[in-house]
Structure 1
Amino acid sequence: MNIFLLFFFGFIFSFVGSITPSMLNMTALKISLEKGKQAANKYAFGVSLIIIPQVIIAVILIKYIAQNPTILETLEKVGIVVFIALSYYFYKESKKGKIKIDAVKTKNRNPLLTGIALSILNMFGIPFFSGTIITLDVFKLFSFDAVSVFFFTLGSVLGTFYILFLYGKFAKIIQQKTGELTKDINLILSILTGLVAVFSLIKQLF
């Protein structure tokens, strides 16, 4: 398996998975507006640090599952349902209005510690990376050897950091365009997850 390809997959999945407005990136935006870009970068670094154990835990879980064909086959079927549900969820989200940035609480805490704390509390981290890894594994695009996992993890960390960096860097522009941005991104994600569900279903049938 090409390690640079795994780095790319880690980066792009992590980047795209974090691009839609959520608590993590809205906090990056708010910190940037209130405390400046340097503070937002520290926050992004804190969030990204926690990606490392999240990916490692996901790899361990999926490696165990991959060694049990019955579980893997069941998860592939469940994955189709999950991607259909995600497609519907993002479609519904695209119909909603603007996220209230003022609702995000940053207080006067250290940006780095805030990033670490919120990333730990993010319940979707491990399931997201587990889903990403199992999707890649289904299409024979993932390898569980140490070097491959390292590059995939590195890509995931940098992908997360970069999207949060962009939220901080372009905070004022994003603040003005959040409603339109949210609608467009969620619609794109709805289409992408729908396509993954279709391809996964075709693979199951043929």
Structure 2
Amino acid sequence: MILISLFFFGFLFSFVGSITPSMLNMSALKISLEKGKAATNKYALGVSLIIVPQVIIAVILTKYVSENPTILETLEKAGIVIFMALSYYFYRESKKGKIVVEGVKAKDVNPLLTGITLSVLNMFSIPFFSGTIITLDVFNLFSFEYIPVLFFTLGAVIGTYYILFLYGKFARIIQQKTGKLTKDINIILAILTGLVAVFSLIKQLF
């Protein structure tokens, strides 16, 4: 029963945690509009593959965070620099022109590699999963044994893949519903990554 529960929690937290606009799912939306659903599925697979080591690292960190809480602080500080750089990159890209939905000639970029790269750069996945694990452990809903961790990880991988799959599948509907908001996805990505960096910096200072 605990294995099924951990799979469910892994799926639920990763799915819900990725519903709101973020660098990863807005990139999925952009790739779907530019290159199609097949490319988005490859991108989602690339992102999901990196979830495995991120969850494992989160499990290891959670066991020792009480003894050495500076570990997560170091990761957060590194994440601030990375997201500032990403914000500048996406802002610069937004100046090159808006996304053209019809007749777009997509750049020759490997979506699988893009997914892997962005997922690696998303340093906040580790603190997120660590926080999730801590919360579950407080209510005695988590086990640090190998098999339970495997089920939790599998749920997190599938949850992440599925939400990105949905962003790709309904990309045009999402674009129609949000109007001008998604006509320039690069500027949205710049704002999102910039906000993450700012809020993280404020958290570090206070």
| Cα separation, 1, equivalents of 2:17 and 2:108 | 28
Q: Is the 8 A contact 2:2 2:141 kept in 1?
A: no
Q: Is the 8 A contact 2:46 2:112 kept in 1?
A: yes
Cα displacement (A) at 1:55: 0.2
Cα displacement (A) at 1:114: 0.3
Matched pairs, number: 151
Q: State the one-letter code of the partner of 1:6.
A: L
Q: Is the 8 A contact 2:47 2:115 kept in 1?
A: yes
Cα displacement string for residues 103-136 of structure 1 (whole angstroms, at most 9, x for unaligned residues):
8xx8431000000000000121101101110011
Given the two structures, how large is their TM-score scaled by the length of structure 2? 0.67
Q: State the one-letter code of the partner of 1:151.
A: F
Question: 5+ unaligned residues in a row in structure 2: which ranges?
Answer: 73-93, 100-105, 183-206
| Cα separation, 1, equivalents of 2:50 and 2:131 | 18
Q: State the one-letter code of the partner of 1:130.
A: S
Identity %: 77
> Which residue number in structure 2 is paired with residue 54 of structure 1?
54
> Which residue number in structure 1 is paired with residue 175 of structure 2?
175
Q: State the one-letter code of the partner of 1:177.
A: K
> Which residue number in structure 1 is paired with residue 115 of structure 2?
115
Q: State the one-letter code of the partner of 1:148.
A: P
| Cα separation, 2, equivalents of 1:35 and 1:152 | 32
Q: Give me the CA root mean square deviation.
A: 2.7
| Cα separation, 1, equivalents of 2:178 and 2:166 | 14
Alignment of 1:40-51 (within 5 A): 40-51=40-51
Give the 3-state SS of the residue equivalent to 1:144 in structure 2: coil
Cα displacement (A) at 1:19: 0.7
Given the two structures, how large is their TM-score scaled by the length of structure 1? 0.67
> Which residue number in structure 1 is paired with residue 33 of structure 2?
33
> Which residue number in structure 1 is paired with residue 135 of structure 2?
135
Cα displacement string for residues 123-180 of structure 1 (whole angstroms, at most 9, x for unaligned residues):
211011011100111111110000000000000000000000000000000112237x
Cα displacement string for residues 3-50 of structure 1 (whole angstroms, at most 9, x for unaligned residues):
000000000000000110111111111111111100000000000000
Q: State the one-letter code of the partner of 2:23.
A: M
> Which residue number in structure 1 is paired with residue 156 of structure 2?
156
> Which residue number in structure 1 is paired with residue 76 of structure 2?
none
Q: State the one-letter code of the partner of 1:23.
A: M
- Relative to structure 1, is the Cα distance of residues 135 and 107 closer, same or farther in structure 2, using a 3 angstrom cutoff? farther
List 4+ stretches of structure 1 deviating above 6 A.
none
